[in-house]
DNA sequence: CCGATTCACTGCACGATGTGCAATTAGTTC
DNA sequence: GAACTAATTGCACATCGTGCAGTGAATCGG
């Protein structure tokens, strides 16, 4: 058996982190996050209120599941996509992965989010952070200046829109539609708007 | 001179409302809304803190400028667009109008928003409310069931994405780009993805 | 014109949020 | 085992957001 390189201290911290997230997701999905206090979440995870705030800046963030390290992970994943892939296609692969990892949390998360519009806003706060990193990579891939050309910001915002609409529709269908599949279909529909040009930059000829 | 049908009481209320919004926009653009307290905004508008909360549920809402009556206004505007207009085109006209009215507030608003990611989230809280109403109308126009077909949610989310990306790019360009114009251009680019008739050329009109 | 009513504004109280600070305890390093 | 590091905790405090009741001005009905 290979010894795990992370020690007991780190393992306990991750356990606390996970317990808080699970408690927040469960309580939030059950009763709506507005009717849940931080004290209840902390008690359910058997830690103090102050410890909760050492792991998450707010109860909403515990639901959304934003982690700073994911930004780098997402940026690296996008940067390592094949250079001949269109930006929209690269975003499809990278963002679609979000639905696949920790997929068991998504039903609870979508249930909690649909119960409180404020959570959708908070979700976008994290998406904005993702987007800023992704726009950088897209700009580098296409050689466009994001301060002068709307393309990088637009294609990224549109991919995020597809992600969000997929969540909404999958949730509204009551499980009949799978969010990951719906997301792929949405991107497929949007493909004509971002047709690649001869130079392979992915920029439409306008 | 035609007598204004609204009385003095209502006029004073609107004046208070406007004073609070202007104070919030100015202070938020200057120092970032996080460093501004509700007490400061209320003092700047010469009312009590409690009165502020009678007009806005939070200081972020005072910046964003969400008003419930706009939802109906937006829904009616969309519903009264010509039936032969594509949903995307109808959304372009209706949402583009948001940039044009109270246009003098947009620079301050964009400045305040860009200074605080949480405001972007709050902006989406209001957009979600708009979207839900718009999705209804789109579903009615197209005869699609929004719980089974992703189209209404997708085209609306994409239009919102274009709106947001236009704000971002216009702000990043430092005034070189006009948000309303950039928005129209973004919608034009997205047109081929939502064109009901597959055009032989496969190219969007430029 | 005058009494009754409505409503914007106000102060007060209170639970909840989010953060700085210092102490404790357990894990890690040398 | 001693020194160090970091997760957890309690406490204090500013701020947020809301319920409630009171006041005064605007409006309405006679």
User: What CATH number should be reported for the domain holding residue A95?
Assistant: 1.10.357.10
* Residues A27 and A117 occupy one common structural domain: no
* Residues A124 and A179 occupy one common structural domain: yes
Rounded to whole angstroms, the Cα distance separating A200 from A30 reads: 48
- pLDDT attached to residue B123: 84
- pLDDT attached to residue B164: 86
- pLDDT attached to residue A200: 43
* Residues A19 and A111 occupy one common structural domain: no
A198, two tokens: 């001869």
Closest partner CB to A158 (pick from B120, B161, B173): B161
How many angstroms separate the CA of B70 from the C1' of C4? 35
Answer yes or no: is pLDDT of A201 > 80: no
For residues A35 and B165, which has the higher predicted lDDT (pLDDT)? A35
Give chain A's mean pLDDT. Answer: 86
Rounded to whole angstroms, the Cα distance separating B166 from B46 reads: 35
- pLDDT attached to residue B195: 73
Instruction: Give percent above pLDDT 90 in chain A.
Output: 51
A26, two tokens: 């469960």
In chain B, residues 161-200 whose CB comes closer than 8 Å to chain A:
161-162, 164-166, 168-169, 172-174, 176-177, 182, 185-186, 188-195
B147: CB partners within 8 A, 6+ apart: A169, A172, A173, A174
Domain presence at residue B121: yes
Domain presence at residue A30: yes
Residues of A (4-43) placing their beta carbon closer than 7 angstroms to any atom of strand C are 7-10, 12, 36-39
**Confidence class of residue B18 from pLDDT cuts 50, 70 and 90?**
very high
A5: CB partners within 8 A, 6+ apart: none
- The number of angstroms, rounded, from the C-alpha of B65 to the middle of its chain's C-alpha atoms is 8
Exposure string over A111-132, b if 16+ CB within 10 A, otherwise e: ebbbbbbbbbbbbbbbbbbbbb
- pLDDT attached to residue B115: 82
Domain count, chain A: 2
Domain presence at residue A142: yes
- pLDDT attached to residue B44: 97
* Residues B91 and B154 occupy one common structural domain: yes
* Residues B44 and B86 occupy one common structural domain: no
CB of A86 less than 8 A from some CB of B? no
* Residues A73 and A32 occupy one common structural domain: no
* Residues A91 and A186 occupy one common structural domain: yes
Nearest-CA distance A111 → chain B (Å): 15
How many angstroms separate the CA of A112 from the C1' of C23? 37
As a whole number of Å, the CA-based R_g of chain A is 19
How many angstroms separate the CA of A21 from the C1' of C30? 36
* Residues B90 and B127 occupy one common structural domain: yes
Nearest-CA distance B119 → chain A (Å): 8
Give me the domain span that covers residue B51.
8-63
Answer yes or no: is pLDDT of A122 > 80: yes
> Which of A133, A154, A181 to probe by mutation at the B interface, max B CB count within 10 Å?
A154
Q: What are the tens digits of pLDDT across the range A81-116?
A: 999 999 999 999 999 988 887 667 888 888 898 888
Q: Are A88 and A152 in contact (CB under 8 A)?
A: no
**Confidence class of residue B196 from pLDDT cuts 50, 70 and 90?**
low
How many angstroms separate the CA of A11 from the C1' of D7? 11
- pLDDT attached to residue B57: 93
- The number of angstroms, rounded, from the C-alpha of A35 to the middle of its chain's C-alpha atoms is 24
* Residues B117 and B19 occupy one common structural domain: no
Residues of A (7-26) placing their beta carbon closer than 7 angstroms to any atom of strand D are 9-10, 12-13, 16
A14, two tokens: 């991750």
Q: What are the tens digits of pLDDT across the range B22-75?
A: 999 999 999 999 999 999 999 999 999 999 999 999 999 999 877 767 788 889
Q: What are the tens digits of pLDDT across the range A168-200?
A: 888 888 888 888 999 999 999 899 888 765 444
B114 CB neighbours in chain A (<8 A) are none
A160 CB neighbours in chain B (<8 A) are 161
- Any atom of strand C under 7 A from CB of B50? yes
Q: Are A90 and A81 in contact (CB under 8 A)?
A: yes
B129 CB neighbours in chain A (<8 A) are 117
* Residues A107 and A135 occupy one common structural domain: yes
- pLDDT attached to residue B75: 92
Q: What is the CATH number of the domain that holds B47?
A: 1.10.10.60
For residues A32 and B116, which has the higher predicted lDDT (pLDDT)? A32
- pLDDT attached to residue B78: 95
**Confidence class of residue B110 from pLDDT cuts 50, 70 and 90?**
confident
As a whole number of Å, the CA-based R_g of chain B is 19
A150 CB neighbours in chain B (<8 A) are 165-166, 169, 177, 182, 185-186
**Average pLDDT over every residue of B155-178:** 88
How many angstroms separate the CA of B197 from the C1' of C29? 70
């Amino acid at each position: 058996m290979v010894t795990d390189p992370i020690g007991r201290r780190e393992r306990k911290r991750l356990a606390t982190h996970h317990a808080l997230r699970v408690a927040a997701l469960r309580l939030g999905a059950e009763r709506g996050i507005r009717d849940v206090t931080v004290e209840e979440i902390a008690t359910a995870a058997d830690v103090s209120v102050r410890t909760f705030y050492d792991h998450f800046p707010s109860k909403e963030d515990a639901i959304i599941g934003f982690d700073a390290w994911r930004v780098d992970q997402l940026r690296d994943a996008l940067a390592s996509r094949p250079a001949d892939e269109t930006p929209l296609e690269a975003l499809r692969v990278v963002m679609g992965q979000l639905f696949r990892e920790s997929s068991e949390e998504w039903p609870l998360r979508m249930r909690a989010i649909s119960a409180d519009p404020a959570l959708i806003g908070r979700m976008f706060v994290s998406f904005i952070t993702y987007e800023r990193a992704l726009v950088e990579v897209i700009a580098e891939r296409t050689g466009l200046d994001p301060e002068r050309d709307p393309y990088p910001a637009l294609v990224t915002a549109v991919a995020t829109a597809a992600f969000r609409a997929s969540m909404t529709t999958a949730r509204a269908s009551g499980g009949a539609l799978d969010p990951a599949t719906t997301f792929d279909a949405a991107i497929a529909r949007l493909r004509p708007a971002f047709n690649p040009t001869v130079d392979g930059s992915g920029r439409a000829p306008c």
